[in-house]
Amino acid sequence: MFPLRVVQVGLSMSGVRIILVDTSHPGNIGAAARAMKTMGLTDLSLVTPHAFPSAQATARATGADDVLDAARVFPSLSEAIAECNLVIGSSARARHIDWPQMTVREAGNLAAHRATHASVAFVFGRERTGLTNAELDHCHCLAYIPTHSGYHSLNLAAAVQVVAYEVHMANQTLCEASTLASVQIPAPAIEMDRLYEHLEQTLTEVDFLNPAHPRLLMRRLRRLFNRAQPDAVEVNILRGILTAVQRSKRC
């Protein structure tokens, strides 16, 4: 009943997508493409870049023009991650609400395992201000690059390089081990978004959620479901329950 599959892991890196959000400097986009290519990553997505395509990006890509040419531009983060099963935010900062956090090494391992049978995204924020809390809400977990104390902020392309390196090294290890693994595929982000909308609507209808102050509750519920990482069948069951609750409330 559940989509458990036995797969050969550690063979392909095509399942890892790098997403840059609202990048100001096109040079950083080019440098990120170069960083990706050196580590075997080719799937680059850009959310509302300030300037792209750009001669500066191409100049900084030096030899990774193919990655830039294939880059896709999206109007929002939710559209960029729509088919992704695992979304990892790259962030130096700990926030007041604690998202699950791991080192970039742990995240690289997780991504390399998952990428063999599912789509994994690493999301990078703006040069000046990083990712907003609303953007972090879309992430299952956060990856941080451990730094020397007191100064945590890497240049955007340098952060992409470190993440890509860790994914590459983890993938190499998997290739060498050529492990067989049994895995459960989490539902894609677009289905999770529909679940959250349905949940919010239902909780409002049964007066559990006050629409005047909805944000914290929904954020906490997102975190709960992101930890559980339900698969498509489980999401359908949850939505079926919500529909049944709505039906009984309405009649």
Return residues touching ligand SAH (CB under 6 A).
90-93, 124-125, 127-131, 144-145, 147, 152-154, 156, 159
DSSP class of 11: S
Q: 10 or 130, CB closer to ligand SAH?
A: 130
Q: 99 or 144, CB closer to ligand SAH?
A: 144
Q: 68 or 88, CB closer to ligand SAH?
A: 88
User: In sequence order, which residues have a C-beta less than 8 Å from that of residue 239 and are 6 or more positions away?
Assistant: 194, 195, 198
Q: State which residue has the least CB distance to ligand SAH.
A: 130
Minimum CB distance to ligand SAH, residue 153 (Å)? 4
DSSP string, 41-66: --EEEEES-SS-S-HHHHHHHTT-HH
Coil, strand, or helix at residue 119? coil
Question: Do the strands 120-124 and 16-21 form a parallel or antiparallel pair, or are they unpaired?
Answer: parallel
> Count of alpha carbons within 13 Å of 128, Cβ hemisphere only?
3
Q: Is the distance from CB of 170 to CB of 108 less than 8 angstroms?
A: yes
Look-up: residue for tokens 């975190």? 223
User: In sequence order, which residues have a C-beta less than 8 Å from that of residue 224 and are 6 or more positions away?
Assistant: none
Q: State the first-to-last Cα distance of the chain, in angstroms, to the nearest integer.
A: 32
Q: 133 or 147, CB closer to ligand SAH?
A: 147
Q: 92 or 190, CB closer to ligand SAH?
A: 92
